[in-house]
């Protein structure tokens, strides 16, 4: 089976060239990244595709444990619904405050979200692990 690399190279498709391919592991990792970086309702074809991260991006009042749980449950539910190549999916989320030194000694703090997915590939019954890591709000200059 052939798996296509994300993002798709539209220019190659328009020129009737072969699109870039990747391994099943890379394809699943790309799909997980797409889920984690999409908010619910972003894609008109399916309101269940996405993740709750973007609904709570600027939420500084909710406890970190509640945020972790909410994000983990959201991603796990979306993966179980949309990623048919995996089974036994478990999602662990860690939120860390990172401090960045800014200009003129103004420091800023951003939340880093680490999403660790552990599962089994249905096709081969092998373990599949994936780590997504990115920063969310608050925005600062």
Q: What is the pLDDT of residues 6-23, one digit of tens each?
A: 888 888 889 998 888 999
- The mean pLDDT value for 116-121 works out to 98
The CATH class, in words, for 3-136 is: alpha beta
Q: Which of 73, 79, 32, 66 has its CA nearest to residue 52?
A: 73
Predicted pLDDT of residue 140: 44
Using the predicted structure, report yes or no on whether residue 108 has a pLDDT greater than 90.
Answer: no
Predicted pLDDT of residue 22: 94
CA distance 89 to 121: 10
CA distance 71 to 91: 9
Mean pLDDT score of the chain, rounded to an integer? Answer: 86
Predicted pLDDT of residue 139: 46
Using the predicted structure, report yes or no on whether residue 100 has a pLDDT greater than 50.
Answer: yes
Q: Which of 58, 136, 56, 62 has its CA nearest to residue 96?
A: 136
Residue ranges covered by each domain of the chain? 3-136
Distance of CA 103 to the CA centre of its chain: 30
Instruction: Enumerate residues 6+ apart whose C-beta is below 8 A from 67.
Output: 56, 59, 93, 95
- The mean pLDDT value for 69-74 works out to 93
141: number of Cβ within 10 Å: 6
């Amino acid at each position: 089976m052939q798996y296509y690399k994300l993002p798709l190279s539209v220019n190659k498709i328009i020129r009737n060239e072969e699109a870039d391919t990747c391994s099943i592991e890379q394809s699943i990792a790309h799909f997980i990244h797409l889920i984690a970086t999409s908010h619910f309702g972003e894609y008109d074809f399916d309101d269940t595709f996405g993740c709750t991260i973007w609904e709570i991006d600027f939420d500084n009042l909710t406890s970190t444990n509640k945020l972790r749980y909410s994000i983990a449950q959201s991603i796990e539910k979306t993966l179980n619904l949309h990623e048919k190549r995996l089974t036994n999916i478990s999602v662990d989320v860690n939120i860390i405050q990172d401090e960045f030194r800014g200009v003129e000694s103004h420091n800023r703090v951003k939340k880093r979200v680490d999403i660790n997915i552990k599962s089994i590939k249905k096709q081969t019954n092998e373990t599949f692990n994936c780590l997504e890591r990115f920063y969310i709000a608050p925005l600062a200059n």
